[in-house]
A and B are shown apart, each in its own frame.
Chain A
């Protein structure tokens, strides 16, 4: 009986034969120490954890798949991005307000980077699509026209209509970013196309941005 009650501390007393199993393999002997308790519990814990985990994620309940979780995070993220501005209208005043709002321009920039650079190049220097940094425009005479081009497309579909792919807020923010690109040219971009147009109107009076905190509630 006693050989089963030895604790691990005895392991180095190789001479104490009562902890030794009887067999020897090519001179190799083995103690008969019990399993380490922590290891048993670790293994058992992992084993016990497994079925509930599997059941939780795969019993068919909505919202637990990776895709669902991603969509929820994405929705929350959009909400965060837009909760501060509410539902925007795609009109001239709104666009002007955001064209001069640096903190929102970076949101427009990130949408532009994912969707527009393949034609308009990095920072709108122009590739297939026209250069957006110079003073020449093909389908724009007033700043509000940017919104229309984005919504409905232009040049017989070469510029796609984005209305179905973007929310109105996104259309405003991308338009604002595009408008803000004007005048950033360093001369290395695509040559100018279209007519030269008048500069954008100045920033609207400050009270417009004072509304923002009110819409947060």
Chain B
């Protein structure tokens, strides 16, 4: 065949890196599953006394998520990408050194997060809890070690046209690279401490933006990419529809990133942003469902060999659950559905379905198919694989289904009102049911864990039987220059060619054949640039206006003042302990909610919150209106032994906060950091000290007057960290109902609000109800344009 021996070249695939990534995937998955069970057990058996500081749900929950997502799914995705990219490009990874750097630095990042998070080193921002050095490292590793290597491999590919998996990988690599920049929007105040640069509403949107897109680019897109490669490989049968492949990829790419604001429905986020999030979220679900349909139709009626049967079952379940996940995405985008289930366990079950169900099952299925190829020997026990399938399936179902049930019960308890509109149940009345469901979920986590243990044993045994040395196939081809040249495709002829119709119709007909797409498939750069442009456009339209037109989006409330130094310290403790994992700070404009907690939240209330602590789960009640609801003494007792004051509570004891002194240097650092962010503190150390001791003494005086002790051991009550946290809790919501004299009307309340009050008073026989007057209008489009210079 080869006419000129001189232009011949040979290549082989680097499977060592795949083996390494796969090994750590399984190891981390094993650790992740047992951690998940441990995290659930901290809810079932909250610590009675603060013997071990890190053993609390608030601190361990992010560790569990990090392990499952970044370590288990992340490494699994890398293993799959390194395996399939080389084969789809007919090229070895461009740089072995970069592959290894990627491998080791990613594990180092995971370990760093694993050590720092339980020790309370956290940004307190959803999905990007790890402090800035870790985030920075992650961004750099992604761009410098992974994206560059991947891009260079693509540019050296020997197959001009790229298969759909590669399109998904490109989108994931570019999207995740850009998205991780969001985590860097912080202001480092020390090596292991930073403040968010954005405040309140803007910061909450950035958090939502990041966590939505990390799911899109590190879970959904790679999962689809891997499934498109491994499903037809395992089945040895063609993909159902090339056209559906194209259409579902592009729809997902074009609409996916816009859907982030749907995580913040009914919050104080400007409503038009949340509407965009909803509309695009629905489209996102439909687009994912298109890809799932394509894969499911590929499965239909196929028969596979017995040896690959097990991995096919995992893949099939992974794809099926991705379909369920997509349907949930649609449901959870809709505002009125979200109004009922937001902050409930359903939201958590949805993430678990995504991670353990779709991501986990696909990665495991892929692994079982790759293992015999990577070790060049049959899998040690195919019975064990069958056992693992059942353990994993039961594990997923036991985690997800009780979550749904718990969500529905919570929603019922929170929202039930009688015929006169009076709340029927106390907040805590769902907790006993929740505890039953958590027990089931813990069993599910254990089943998943045992399954991965079986797999790990099977894997080790197979590895011991591996071929020594590996027979690495070497391929010989003509020189790459010729291989990589653009392929010209013949212009298709329209079926309307002979028909008497307009030329436009013929052109549309040809366009809908999608043959033009073959040119796009030859250009990774085009796809990458388009993904980046869509992301930038979505960011510009949804996020940037909230910063540029901050004035009209976040109407100023004059009575909202910065936190005092003691309250800043309290807020720092709140962040460190991960209180946000169980408590929201957001009263939504829903009747059951305002009846339970008080007036609904307003954007201007959060302007000193860096970062926002709105939260996404209510295991405990909302705290946005906590001020004055309980006495400081009650909080004091509640922190030390939560079940003394609230018998059903799942909160761990924070007795050590009562025994630990406030470090005035640390308070000063927090104040100085806030001042550098532009919050007006005109204080030096002496004044900070003075302010702290004054406020602490008054809080402590109240505690002591109710029966609290003046000192515990050597520590005076007013010196303890608990006092700082209580001061912060007593501040939450206090500003909004500050004395009327200090309260001025929000800046943008104009003629509309007067009109509204008149209308409101016409519709009701009650002449003046405060709820009707004290409403700040939300953002509207007119204002955005009148705000332009």
Q: Residues on A close to B: CB < 8 A?
A: 1, 4, 8, 11-12, 14, 20-21, 23, 25-36, 39, 42-43, 46-47, 49-50, 53-54, 57-60, 62-63, 65-83, 86-87, 106-107, 110, 114, 117-118, 127-128, 164-165, 167, 169
B241–A74 touching, CB < 8 Å: no
B755–A32 touching, CB < 8 Å: no
Having A11-B240, A58-B271, A65-B777, one finds 13 other A-B pairs with CB under 8 Å, namely A26-B229, A33-B242, A33-B243, A34-B243, A35-B243, A36-B244, A60-B780, A66-B266, A67-B589, A67-B778, A74-B771, A75-B764, A114-B595
Bound form: Cα–Cα A161–B459 in Å: 73
Bound form: Cα–Cα A115–B243 in Å: 61
Q: Is B369 an interface residue (CB 8 A)?
A: no
**B201 CB to closest chain A CB, in angstroms?**
15
Contact pick for A106, options B422, B629, B740, CB 8 Å: B422
Q: Is B300 an interface residue (CB 8 A)?
A: yes
Within 246-282 of B, Cβ neighbours of A (below 8 Å) are at 247, 251, 266, 271-272, 275-276, 279, 282
Considering only CB atoms, which chain A residue lies closest to B633 in the complex?
Answer: A127
**A158 CB to closest chain B CB, in angstroms?**
13
B776: chain A residues within 8 A (beta carbon):
67
Contact pick for A28, options B239, B272, B631, CB 8 Å: B239
**B288 CB to closest chain A CB, in angstroms?**
11
Looking at B238, B251, B272, the one whose CB has the most chain A CB atoms below 10 A away is B238
Decide yes or no: A42 and B286 within 8 Å by CB, A14-B237, A28-B232 being known contacts.
yes
**A169 CB to closest chain B CB, in angstroms?**
7
A31–B241 touching, CB < 8 Å: yes
A20: chain B residues within 8 A (beta carbon):
238
Considering only CB atoms, which chain B residue lies closest to A83 in the complex?
Answer: B765
5 smallest beta-carbon distances between A and B, as pairs = A25-B163, A70-B589, A33-B241, A29-B238, A77-B421
Considering only CB atoms, which chain A residue lies closest to B588 in the complex?
Answer: A66
Q: Is B476 an interface residue (CB 8 A)?
A: no
Q: Is B756 an interface residue (CB 8 A)?
A: yes
Looking at B232, B420, B595, the one whose CB has the most chain A CB atoms below 10 A away is B420
**B367 CB to closest chain A CB, in angstroms?**
18
Q: Is B1 an interface residue (CB 8 A)?
A: no
Within 752-780 of B, Cβ neighbours of A (below 8 Å) are at 752, 755-756, 759-760, 763-772, 775-778, 780
A34: chain B residues within 8 A (beta carbon):
241, 243
A53: chain B residues within 8 A (beta carbon):
275, 279
A30–B239 touching, CB < 8 Å: yes
B contact residues, total (Cβ < 8 Å): 83
Binding stretch for chain A, among B125-133, B289-297, B433-441, B461-469 = B289-297
A128: chain B residues within 8 A (beta carbon):
631
A54–B272 touching, CB < 8 Å: yes
A29–B290 touching, CB < 8 Å: no
B241–A30 touching, CB < 8 Å: yes
Considering only CB atoms, which chain B residue lies closest to A68 in the complex?
Answer: B756
Bound form: Cα–Cα A83–B297 in Å: 59
Bound form: Cα–Cα A92–B335 in Å: 47
A contacts with B: majority SS: helix
B763–A76 touching, CB < 8 Å: yes
A76: chain B residues within 8 A (beta carbon):
763-764
A59: chain B residues within 8 A (beta carbon):
781
B159–A80 touching, CB < 8 Å: no
B422–A39 touching, CB < 8 Å: no
B600–A70 touching, CB < 8 Å: yes
A65–B238 touching, CB < 8 Å: no
B45: chain A residues within 8 A (beta carbon):
none
**B746 CB to closest chain A CB, in angstroms?**
12
A70–B591 touching, CB < 8 Å: yes
**B512 CB to closest chain A CB, in angstroms?**
10
**B748 CB to closest chain A CB, in angstroms?**
13
A42: chain B residues within 8 A (beta carbon):
286
A110–B595 touching, CB < 8 Å: yes
B594–A35 touching, CB < 8 Å: no
Contact pick for A75, options B236, B239, B302, B769, CB 8 Å: B769
Contacts A/B (CB < 8 Å), 27 sampled: A11-B240, A11-B300, A20-B238, A25-B163, A31-B238, A31-B240, A34-B241, A35-B244, A36-B293, A39-B244, A39-B293, A43-B287, A46-B283, A54-B272, A57-B272, A60-B782, A66-B266, A66-B589, A67-B777, A70-B594, A72-B760, A78-B764, A87-B765, A110-B422, A117-B629, A118-B629, A169-B766
Mark interface residues in B286-329 (1 if CB within 8 Å of A CB, else 0): 11011001000100111000000000000000000000000000
B513: chain A residues within 8 A (beta carbon):
4
Decide yes or no: A167 and B242 within 8 Å by CB, A12-B301, A54-B272 being known contacts.
no
